[in-house]
């Protein structure tokens, strides 16, 4: 009996040791036991970037520290307020995160959301003529922003590349959004058109620049933050589909406000969002929702659909309707 008991006890101890090792390996993969015990007290910080398994955490004095990530903290994103502990060799450990106001994420095809950034006030949706403007991408970003109640602003960049005829047709396209009440700014890092207007809107807010790779997000940001070293791409590079900005990073304005540069996004799926939520976040659809003949109308093939009627009457623009149909059927 005692022998059996001992064996059980031993087994438990072995299992416990294994678990401890596993736990340590998971939570502080590169800290030895001694180093782990040398960690300082918990301090507050701001997550400004990721580098693989490390987070870059800024302390209240704006000094940055590399911190190991503990795997049990989920949904961390640039902009999160966190707790961290200073370690030896200036390698700390991120230990906890505060709840966030909102989380802007990028849905993947498996239905989970990959966090991009958090605690955002406004999102600048940047397009250009090169790479080609995509109304579908703009509409998808708008739906995501509206859903999170984050203020969206549209930027059409690289106006210096437009012929007068192209400028006119782009204006017609973007008037759709102006008519819906969205702010639309035409800009160019070359001629500096629109840059002061953007700079004014950035004041004292936390903003993020989103858009396809190569539209000029980092070039705009480096104009606003001339003291920072921000990588911008070569034309040939993004034509080959290579991203210049590979990871989101948060910058501060000396006069107040934060700005996040994010990597380019070619496709922004809304696979995780139910059709009804998508319809609600096309803001001009809202007044027609609930007026279809069938209360569960999918606005596809049903008769007496209030949305389709509104498109027919010219109250909803066919381009926006087209985007909606594409999003729903994808
Ligand atoms: N003609 C013209 N070229 C621009 C303008 N803004 C940026 N570019 C060029 O466009 C290319 C891409 O610029 P980036 O600022 O790196 O683009 P990005 O949106 O940050 O790209 P990713 O980081 O890959 O997402 C570079 O070659 C820039 O020099 C502009 O206003 N006019
Ligand atoms: Mg960039
Ligand atoms: Zn309907």
Instruction: Find the CATH number of the domain harbouring 320.
Output: 1.10.40.50
Q: Identify whether residues 156 and 64 lie together within a single domain.
A: no
- As a whole number, mean pLDDT of residues 94-105 equals 93
Q: Identify whether residues 228 and 256 lie together within a single domain.
A: yes
286 part of a folded domain:
yes
CA of 267 to the centre of ligand 1 (A): 18
Q: What is the pLDDT of residue 147?
A: 93
Where among 261, 285, 310 does a domain terminate?
261
Q: Identify whether residues 136 and 200 lie together within a single domain.
A: yes
Q: What is the pLDDT of residue 232?
A: 73
Residues in the chain: 330
Residue 236 — very low, low, confident or very high, per pLDDT cuts 50/70/90?
low
Where among 214, 233, 261 does a domain terminate?
261
Where among 204, 231, 261 does a domain terminate?
261
* pLDDT over 50 at 124, yes or no: yes
Q: Which residue in this structure is represented by tokens 């990028």? A: 106
Residue of the CA atom closest to atom 7 of ligand 1: 216
Instruction: Quote the tokens at residue 181.
Output: 């009440």
Q: Identify whether residues 71 and 164 lie together within a single domain.
A: no
- Report the atom number in ligand 1 closest to the C-alpha of 242: 24
H-run or E-run covering 28? none
Residue 15 — very low, low, confident or very high, per pLDDT cuts 50/70/90?
low
**Ligand found nearest the CA of 198:** 1
Which residues on adjacent β-strands are paired with residue 106? 114
Q: Identify whether residues 180 and 233 lie together within a single domain.
A: yes
Looking at 203-274, list the stretches that DSSP marks H as alpha helix, in order from N- to C-terminal side: 217-224, 235-239
Q: Which residue in this structure is represented by tokens 């294994």? A: 18
89 part of a folded domain:
yes
CA of 95 to the centre of ligand 1 (A): 37
How many other C-beta atoms lie within 10 A of the C-beta of residue 327? 21
pTM of this structure: 0.86
**Ligand found nearest the CA of 293:** 3
* pLDDT over 70 at 89, yes or no: yes
CA distance 138 to 268: 9
Q: What is the pLDDT of residue 72?
A: 78
Q: What is the pLDDT of residue 9?
A: 67
Q: What is the pLDDT of residue 241?
A: 55
Q: What is the pLDDT of residue 21?
A: 46
Q: How many domains does the chain divide into?
A: 3
CA of 131 to the centre of ligand 2 (A): 13
Cβ(160) to ligand 1 under 6 A? yes
Looking at the chain, list the stretches that DSSP marks H as alpha helix, in order from N- to C-terminal side: 2-27, 33-37, 135-147, 164-179, 195-202, 217-224, 235-239, 275-280, 306-312, 318-329
H-run or E-run covering 110? none
Q: Identify whether residues 65 and 187 lie together within a single domain.
A: no
- As a whole number, mean pLDDT of residues 20-32 equals 52
Residues 6+ apart with CB under 8 A from 109: 269, 271
CA of 317 to the centre of ligand 1 (A): 30
* pLDDT over 80 at 269, yes or no: no
Q: Identify whether residues 185 and 44 lie together within a single domain.
A: no
- Report the atom number in ligand 1 closest to the C-alpha of 215: 19
- As a whole number, mean pLDDT of residues 79-103 equals 91
Domain encompassing residue 88 = 33-97
Q: What is the pLDDT of residue 96?
A: 92
């Amino acid at each position: 009996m005692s022998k059996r008991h001992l064996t059980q006890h031993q087994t438990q101890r072995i299992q416990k040791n294994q678990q401890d090792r596993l736990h340590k390996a998971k939570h502080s993969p590169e800290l030895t036991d001694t180093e782990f015990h040398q960690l300082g007290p918990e301090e507050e910080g701001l997550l400004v970037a990721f580098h693989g398994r490390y987070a870059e955490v800024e302390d209240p004095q704006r000094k940055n520290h590399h911190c190991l990530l503990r795997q049990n903290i989920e949904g961390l994103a640039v902009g999160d307020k966190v707790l961290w502990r200073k370690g030896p060799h200036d390698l700390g450990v991120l230990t906890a995160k505060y709840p966030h106001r909102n989380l802007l994420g990028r849905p993947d095809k498996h239905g989970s959301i990959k966090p991009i950034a958090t605690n955002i006030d406004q999102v600048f949706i940047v397009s250009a003529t090169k790479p080609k403007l995509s109304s579908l991408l703009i509409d998808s970003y708008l739906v995501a922003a509206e859903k999170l109640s984050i203020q969206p602003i549209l930027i059409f960049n690289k106006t210096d590349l437009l012929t007068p005829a192209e400028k006119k047709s782009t204006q017609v396209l973007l008037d759709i959004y102006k008519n819906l009440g969205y702010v639309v700014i035409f800009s160019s890092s070359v001629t500096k058109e629109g840059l002061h207007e953007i700079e004014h809107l950035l004041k004292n807010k936390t903003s993020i620049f989103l858009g396809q790779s190569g539209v000029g997000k980092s070039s705009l940001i480096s104009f606003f933050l001339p003291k920072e070293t921000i990588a911008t791409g070569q034309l040939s590079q993004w034509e080959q589909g290579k991203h210049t900005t590979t990871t989101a990073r948060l910058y501060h304005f000396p006069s107040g406000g934060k700005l996040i540069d994010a990597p380019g996004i070619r496709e922004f799926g809304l696979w995780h969002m139910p059709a009804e939520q998508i319809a609600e976040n096309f803001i001009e659809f809202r007044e027609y929702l609930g007026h279809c003949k069938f209360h569960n109308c999918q606005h596809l093939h049903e008769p007496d659909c209030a949305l389709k009627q509104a498109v027919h009457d010219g109250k909803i623009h066919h381009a926006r309707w087209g985007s909606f149909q594409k999003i729903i059927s994808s």
